[in-house]
Homo-oligomer: A and B are copies of this chain.
Amino acid sequence: MARPEHTTKIFDSDLEDLVLAITEMGGLAERQIAEAINALTTRDVRRAQRIITADAKIDAMQRNIEEKAVEVIARRQPVADDLRQVIGILRIANEVERIGDLAKNIGKRIIAIKGEDAPRTTMSGVDHMATLMLGQLRDVLDSFASRDVGKAVKVWMLDQDIDHLCTSLFQELLAYMMRRPVDSSLGAHLLFCTKNLERMGDHATNIAEAIHYMIRGEAFSKERPKADFTSALTVAMGRPTPGG
């Protein structure tokens, strides 16, 4: 269905604005994770407090993107591929916002465990997992900016590394809690931090799926694309469903 050229141009410009807004929001989420890793490693309570405060900005960005995207849909009435771009952006904004919430939650836990001595090997495991997760978010945001579906699929596949690391950290933390029952509360907070990182990884794979949908133009199906995509690759790779 051909549309007048000026309409197309206005839509393209709207879309560019939305893409830019996602990039900016994603950049802030990246910084929040980097800050969370730093605050967790150095047990920096003031830095943790700043992470908690900064999350409101990510929330506001998501709300703005949602508002603008709905306005674009209502005003430009995009169809097919164009509509898919706007919906994909709405979904990605939602995922990034959830990643932000998880970083904020890590901030709260850093404050809760201040003064308690964490086991050094476990902390280095958490640090490693967080760094891996940050790389995944960077890669998936790059794949969004460059519309590189291959890179998005790679992020999707690499998520299993984060899941494996999470499982082994869980075992390590539980063993630590058994050895030192008095540190159960610290251990539980670290379990939740680890789980938060794993969930961030899941959100990065959801972003990868949204990018796949935007570029490859998969039709809506009764099943969530996530489930389809997941189960297909699960069969191929013997990979368990993420998300615990």
Contact = CB atoms under 8 A, between A and B. Distances in A.
Interface residues of A, number: 46
A79 B75 CA distance: 10
Interface string A50-75: 00000010011011101100100111
Nearest to A109: B244
Given A185-B174, A195-B192, A83 B94 contact: no
B60 A224 contact: yes
Interface of A is mostly: helix
- Copy number of this protein in the oligomer? 2
Interface in A9-25: none
Interface of A: 56, 59-60, 62-64, 66-67, 70, 73-75, 77-79, 83, 87, 94, 101, 105, 108-109, 170, 174, 177-179, 181-182, 184-185, 187-188, 191-192, 195, 220-227, 243-244
